[in-house]
Amino acid sequence: MIDQRALTIKLNHVILIEGFQKLSMSKLATAVDVSRATLYIYFKNKDEIVQAVVARHLQFITENPVPKQFETQNFLPIWLNSLLLMGSTTETFTTDLQHAYPELAHQLNMAYRDYFQQLRTYVVQGQQERVILPDYTPEFVIFQAEALLKTVLQQVRSHQLTLDQAERYIEDGLKFQLQGLLTDDARSQVDITTIEPFKTVIMAEFRATYALIP
């Protein structure tokens, strides 16, 4: 028996790359390697698929909130979760969602907006604790991370970067960010090796989605 959660994750990857408005249930079933009949066992129609995909995004935000209080030992997992969230949507997906399901699009946009507002406060606290360098505005700290990640993903979509190259760029970008963001004292306190499990998750999600690009 297929696990519905695993099926939703596969559908999410397909929809991020191809959107959903032009995909029939038959095409979605083919894309995730199940029969049309099997897909209908779990989802009555495409509406339910889109709702499940959006619910997965919202669930991630709910289950991985930005802490109200900054703690040095929690900085790396929080920062990596934020990077995963930055790369979790595409213009193709959000455009289709806005056109076909404006209420769902609004709900998702509000959840993302609230999350990144909380992340901004978290960065401010990190600067006050002398963990994150105070040289940069919190807005820029978040912007530069998002800009790097989205540039890499856009170049993968346009075939200017291979998946292997993009993975190296993301890894190097992460290291570069941490070296540039953390104070000297923080670098001695933060165990960079703790990023490995989170990095593995990010790269697995990246490859599962962007390997679908034709």
Domain-wise residue ranges, the chain: 4-210
> Does residue 22 carry a pLDDT above 80?
yes
Q: Could you tell me the CA-to-CA distances from 152 to 67, 171, 177 in Å, in that order?
A: 28, 11, 15
How high is the mean pLDDT of the chain? 91
Overall average pLDDT of the 107-120 stretch:
97
Overall average pLDDT of the 32-59 stretch:
95
Task: Give the separation between CA 17 and CA 194, rounded to whole angstroms.
Answer: 30
pTM: 0.90
Q: Could you tell me the CA-to-CA distances from 5 to 12, 48, 160, 195 in Å, in that order?
A: 10, 13, 33, 25
In sequence order, what are the residues at sequence separation of 6 or more whose Cβ sits closer than 8 angstroms to the Cβ of residue 109? Answer: none
pLDDT tens-digit readout, 82-108: 998 998 999 999 999 999 999 999 999
Task: Give the separation between CA 187 and CA 198, rounded to whole angstroms.
Answer: 18
What's the one-letter identity of residue 16?
L
Classified by CATH at the fold level, domain 4-210 comes out as Tetracycline Repressor; domain 2 (1.10.357)
User: How many percent of the chain have pLDDT more than 70?
Assistant: 97
pLDDT band, very low/low/confident/very high, at 1 (cuts 50, 70, 90): low
- Of 162, 159, 157, nearest in space to 19 by CA: 157
